[in-house]
């Protein structure tokens, strides 16, 4: 890479947040939903989405330069990435893009200086949970985003690991229970979905004959007894001391033969780009949590009465960290 290309590459990285914000806005305003199989002009799309035509054209031009949409004549068409912003796509990332662009989330990134100086976000995880409890529409969007973000991961997890040895499986902080339901479809087990009361209210459509819905706070309330405990995208939201509190709560309830499955995006040891490294900074800025390596999860588990049995990669960005009672 010559000096000029290094200069341009760094300029692009310095302004990369602009591309992200365009994706957030396109997702929030539903532009991908109003674009069908035929090319459509920015004016037509703007009229359908309630946007300014010139502003949308410029945003789409930038996104097309990055593979999200493509310019076709005087209009725009979908690409394999842009269709993932449609609400009706089976692997839709629209809720995830909208959630990352929510003021409460994005503000953490813009306030990154606070985290850089103190090691803590301007708004910590407990405050974020309280905020979502007071803003039910954003709380519902957050739960939708967690479901959409992990769509590929859920399929990858159930394809990778056989949970058939367990009779009762508890999904701790499981949101709408998408992973638990996928596991139970393949086993004869019964399930328990444990999450905050307002989250459980949002999951009220789940069949109670298969899954018991339990509202509570995993820092204060006893956790249900089960043979297996699933924690997907939970521990990364918390600093080590609070993550240890969650695991200790499980340790107080788990039978001696039980297993814990921590399903997270592990930080890669390779020097190149990796989603785990990006997500780690999001956690630093927004929740005060962190992404961890497999070895770091091993130390965290050992400090709370478990031992690491194995780390199993999946076909998604997630890995399955399996632990047993020490």
Task: Give the number of C-alpha atoms closer than 13 A to the C-alpha of residue 35, restricted to the C-beta side.
Answer: 31
What residues contact 272, with CB distance under 8 A and at least 6 apart? none
Q: Are 139 and 102 in contact (CB under 8 A)?
A: no
> Where do runs of H (alpha helix) occur along the chain?
3-14, 16-28, 42-49, 53-65, 94-100, 103-110, 112-118, 125-134, 136-149, 151-160, 178-184, 197-202, 240-253, 275-286, 294-302
Q: Are 85 and 63 in contact (CB under 8 A)?
A: no
The encoded tokens of residue 109 equal 């990134």
Separation CA 122–CA 286 (nearest Å): 8
Buried b (16+ CB within 10 A) or exposed e, 161-194: eebeebebbbbbbbbbbbbbbebbeebebbbbbb
H or E segment at 228? Answer: strand 228-232
Per the document, the length of the chain is 326
Rounded alpha-carbon distances, angstroms, from residue 111 to 22, 108, 249:
19, 5, 32
Residue whose C-alpha is closest to residue 245's, from 268, 220, 227: 220
Separation CA 140–CA 204 (nearest Å): 12
Active site residue 236: yes
Q: Single out the catalytic residue among 24, 78, 178, 236.
A: 236
Catalytic positions: 236
């Amino acid at each position: 890479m010559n000096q000029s290309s290094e200069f341009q590459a760094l300029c692009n990285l310095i302004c990369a947040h602009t591309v992200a914000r365009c994706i957030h806005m396109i997702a929030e305003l539903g532009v991908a939903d109003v674009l069908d199989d035929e090319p459509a002009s920015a004016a037509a799309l703007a009229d359908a989405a309630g946007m300014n035509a010139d502003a949308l054209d410029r945003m789409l031009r930038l996104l097309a330069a990055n593979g999200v949409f493509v310019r076709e004549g005087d209009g725009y068409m979908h690409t394999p990435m842009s269709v993932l912003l449609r609400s009706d796509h089976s692997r839709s990332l629209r809720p995830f893009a909208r959630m990352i662009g929510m003021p409460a989330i994005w503000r953490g990134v813009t306030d990154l200086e606070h985290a850089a100086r103190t090691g803590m976000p301007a708004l910590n995880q407990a405050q974020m949970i309280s905020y979502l409890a007071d803003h039910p529409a954003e709380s519902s969007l957050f739960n939708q985003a967690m479901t959409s973000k992990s769509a590929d991961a859920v399929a990858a997890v159930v394809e990778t690991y056989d949970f058939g040895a367990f009779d009762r499986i508890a999904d701790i902080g499981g949101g709408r229970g998408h992973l638990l339901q996928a596991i139970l479809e393949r086993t004869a087990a019964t399930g328990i979905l444990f999450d905050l009361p307002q989250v459980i209210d949002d999951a009220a459509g789940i069949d109670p004959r298969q899954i018991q819905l339990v509202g509570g706070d995993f820092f204060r309330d006893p956790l249900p007894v089960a043979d297996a405990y699933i924690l997907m995208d939970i521990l990364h939201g918390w600093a080590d001391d609070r993550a240890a509190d969650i695991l200790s709560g499980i340790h107080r309830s788990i039978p001696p033969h039980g297993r814990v499955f921590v399903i997270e995006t592990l930080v890669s040891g390779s020097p190149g780009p990796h989603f785990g490294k990006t997500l780690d900074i999001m956690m630093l800025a927004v929740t005060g949590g962190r992404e961890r390596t497999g070895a770091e999860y091993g130390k965290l588990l050992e400090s709370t009465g478990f031992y690491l049995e194995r780390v199993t990669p999946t076909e998604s960005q997630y890995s399955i960290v399996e632990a047993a009672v020490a």
